[in-house]
Amino acid sequence: MLGDQIQHADWKKEKHVPVIECPDRVPADEFFPVKATLGKEIAHPNTTEHHIRWIALYFHPEGAKFTYEIGRFEFNAHGASTAGPNQGPVYTHHKVAVSIKINQPGTLYALALCNIHGLWESSQEIGLL
């Protein structure tokens, strides 16, 4: 199962774990900001050879059968160029900021892919006021 390959850890000790920042409780049907980043405590490299490819965000309503995708954010610039690796003019930082609204409590999930260290996830419960 692919799910068995997804790694979990404490983000304060493991640089690959996505960190979700959002309010603990929000009003129903009002947009609020959600940030997802990685390497908040221990920086993850961002080089042509070693970088984060994408972070995907999901919402699972409490008690629901299905999970909903919020967005999938690709980080495509990592210093590659004709001059060679890490010689390019642009890098994308692995950080996402979106606005969402919900009408049920549930759990936000972030899934990140490192090009050489695989899939990592984290989650954050979110309630309604």
Task: Please choose, out of 63-71, 75-83, 106-114, 119-127, the segment that lies near Fe ion by the rule CB under 5 A.
Answer: 106-114
**Does the protein bind Fe ion through residue 117 (CB under 5 A)?**
yes
CA dist., res. 122 & res. 57, Å (int): 10
Q: Catalytic residue at 78?
A: no
Count residues binding Fe ion (CB under 5 A). 2
CA dist., res. 71 & res. 87, Å (int): 30
- Smallest distance from Fe ion to CB 78, Å: 12
Q: Catalytic residue at 117?
A: yes
**Does the protein bind Fe ion through residue 17 (CB under 5 A)?**
no
- Look up residue 7 and give its DSSP letter: B
**Does the protein bind Fe ion through residue 53 (CB under 5 A)?**
no
CA dist., res. 90 & res. 79, Å (int): 6
CA dist., res. 106 & res. 9, Å (int): 21
Q: Closest CB to Fe ion belongs to which residue? A: 114
Rounded to 5 degrees, φ, ψ at 3 are: -55, -30
Q: Catalytic residue at 51?
A: no
- Smallest distance from Fe ion to CB 84, Å: 21
Task: Note whether 106 and 62 are within 8 A (CB).
Answer: yes
- Smallest distance from Fe ion to CB 123, Å: 20
CA dist., res. 13 & res. 42, Å (int): 7
Residue 57-96 contact track with Fe ion, rule CB under 5 A, x = bound: ----------------------------------------
Using CB under 5 A, list all residues that contact Fe ion: 114, 117
